[in-house]
Amino acid sequence: MASFFEVPEGVVLMSIHKSMKRAIEHFNSGNISAYLDIYDSKCTIHGVPPGSSCDMEGARQFYDGLIAAFPGAHLTLEDVLVDGEKAACRYTFRGTHKGDFMGLSPTGKMVTMTGMTILHFSGAKCIERWNEADIMGLMQQLGAVPAASGATRG
């Protein structure tokens, strides 16, 4: 039984899940500042693209560039699992390549990229994130990297 000052575990789990859904809604509306509000100012992000810093300034630069390259991009949370102060999610990114991205000129191609991320929360803010995304698949879709022969996406 929770004491007067403790928050029941279910409330914390729902709060993290709602915070993640709200952040994705902000991303999908193109409001990167509001999207990044889920992160603590000192959050460390692992799995950033080469040349990016793993702090919030690096995250802001990456996401600003991502939205500029894929205006109107859409993120879908496919699965979200919350356990204590950690959350794991599987996501799908969809967008049309209309601006420079990682040295690639716009191709006009529609792309789909999947990924998984684990977030560590302290209170309502993410203090550390580990991300794995199918960047190779994205680059293949953009024509920057040849697809392996016989390879299928799915």
Confidence class for position 1, pLDDT limits 50, 70, 90: very low
pLDDT of residue 13 exceeding 60 = no
> Edge-to-edge strand order for the sheet containing 39-46?
39-46, 125-133, 110-122, 86-96, 74-83
**Cα separation of 71 and 121, whole Å?**
29
Share of the chain above pLDDT 70, in %: 88
**Cα separation of 12 and 84, whole Å?**
8
CB 2 within 8 A of CB 8: yes
Confidence class for position 124, pLDDT limits 50, 70, 90: confident
Round the average pLDDT of the chain to a whole number and report it: 88
User: What domains does the chain contain, in order, with CATH numbers?
Assistant: 9-141 (3.10.450.50)
pLDDT of residue 7 exceeding 60 = no
Confidence class for position 2, pLDDT limits 50, 70, 90: very low
Share of the chain above pLDDT 90, in %: 71
Q: How far apart are the first and last CA of the chain?
A: 45
Confidence class for position 123, pLDDT limits 50, 70, 90: confident
**DSSP conformational letter for 38:** G
pLDDT of residue 92 exceeding 70 = yes
Count the alpha carbons within 13 Å of 110 in the hemisphere toward its beta carbon. 3
What are residue 121's DSSP bridge partners? Answer: 126
**pLDDT tens per residue, range 43-65:** 999 988 777 788 999 999 999 99
Give CA angle at 68 (66, 69), nearest 5°.
Answer: 65
For residue 3, the model assigns a pLDDT of 40
Burial class (CB in 10 A: 0-12, 13-18, 19+), 57: exposed
